Structure 1
């Protein structure tokens, strides 16, 4: 049953990632990957909330593993960072790695604190 919860969450997370990425890239019109940056930070925050509380295992499977796993994408972050560097946009490349890491960690930490406060 856990596998079904993960699959259902991922079935929502992956298309959400695609739609958010396309919308943000179209809105900003720059070479910086704002869509990937945003979905990774949001997924970190949501995962923090889920894991910060006393969430039932089905919620952790569906939202934590499935949705957040489908929403976030480390491989795309890596690809886009290399693509920026190859295009000579080294400042954007460095910004992407550093800010994605710190914003993701910060969002996850905030989510853990919020999750603990909400569910305790």
Structure 2
């Protein structure tokens, strides 16, 4: 049953990513920077940190962490797309934006994960 839930959660995560990224792109039609992907990776990292914190600090369900963390967050977050978007920024001569995308996403998503973990300690 866990495998089925994992697959469904992964599909929901991927669909959520598509819908959110499409929405952001429709609102920021002329944006060069990949705001949708950055936001998705940050919010997904926050959720994953929170889930990890629940399991580690609050004796939460490892099955829930697997389904939501691996399934939903795995389908939702997209560091491979962030990498491709960074390469595209480099190819278009936008080296500063590429560096901001690369380092910024990594740093802020890591911070969001840590914040989610810390948030789990107070619930």
Report the count of equivalent residues.
118
- In angstroms, what is the RMSD of aligned CA positions? 1.0
Q: TM-score, normalised by structure 2?
A: 0.91
The Cα shift of 1:58 comes to: 2.4
Distance 1:65 1:51 in 2: 11
Distance 1:45 1:55 in 2: 17
Runs of 4+ in 1 over 3 A off after TM superposition: none
Structure 2, unaligned runs of 5 or more: none
Structure 1, unaligned runs of 5 or more: none
Aligned positions of 1:40-79 closer than 5 A:
40-53=41-54, 54-79=59-84
Q: CA deviation digits over 1:31-84, x for unaligned, max 9?
A: 111111011000000001111013212211221111110000111011000001
Aligned positions of 1:10-89 closer than 5 A:
10-29=10-29, 30-53=31-54, 54-89=59-94
The answer for the alignment partner of 2:115 in structure 1 is 110
